[in-house]
Amino acid sequence: MFIVGINGSPASDGNTAFLLQRILATAASIGARTQLLHAAPLVASAGGTPFCTVCSNPCSGVCFKGSPLDSAYETLRQADAIVLGSPVYFGTVTAQLKAFFDKTRLLRSQRGLYNVVGAGATVAASHYGGQETTMRALHDIMFVQGMLIVGDGFGQADCGHHGVCAHRPAKEDEQAHRRADLLAYRLVEVCQATAGLRQRSPAAGV
């Protein structure tokens, strides 16, 4: 199985990236192939306006065609699971992550992420710094793509919560480390159980 993490933070080596790397490393240790993408440089790579302006409707992908962002979206088409990560910015996701997903209109029209397993990870400056509102925003993004959302539970531990929520510095948040590991196990479990649902058909355009 193939699990992709998307770092929505402007920092490529900060708290959010740490959480995603922890999740992906644990998933890799139990057999998954993994890859981490960084939203900020990918959005910038397309040039022009960094956010969606509905320049074509239906979306043709013209604004990012041939760019690294285009390649990133092709990577997402191959994913069995996607983990979205974002620090809390004013109670929600970063502008970089929002722009990255606003430009996935073409993927949505082609059902490119339909039945892909999804999960979230977020970090804030304090224990109660907006992690759950940001997690809800992550889930909303994935729901619109028709993804299958899971939390950070695993049967051998507990049923879980909304996802991995940490306070910075994430490297010192041992509870978040444990939840990251449990989320990885859950992702692999659900990816295996739902593999047949991701047989993309020509009718869906993928």
Task: Give how many domains the chain has, as a whole number.
Answer: 1
Cross-strand pairs, 35: 4
Count CB-CB contacts under 10 A for residue 194. Answer: 15
Instruction: Kindly report the pTM of this predicted structure.
Output: 0.94
Q: Is residue 80 part of a domain?
A: yes
Domain of 73: which CATH number? 3.40.50.360
* pLDDT recorded at residue 4: 98
Sites in the chain below the pLDDT cut of 50:
201-206
201 within domain boundaries: no
d(CA 75, CA 93): 22
- What whole-number distance in Å separates Cα of residue 154 and Cα of residue 185? 7
**Domain encompassing residue 24:** 2-193
Q: What pLDDT score does 206 carry?
A: 36
Answer yes or no: is 163 within a domain. Answer: yes
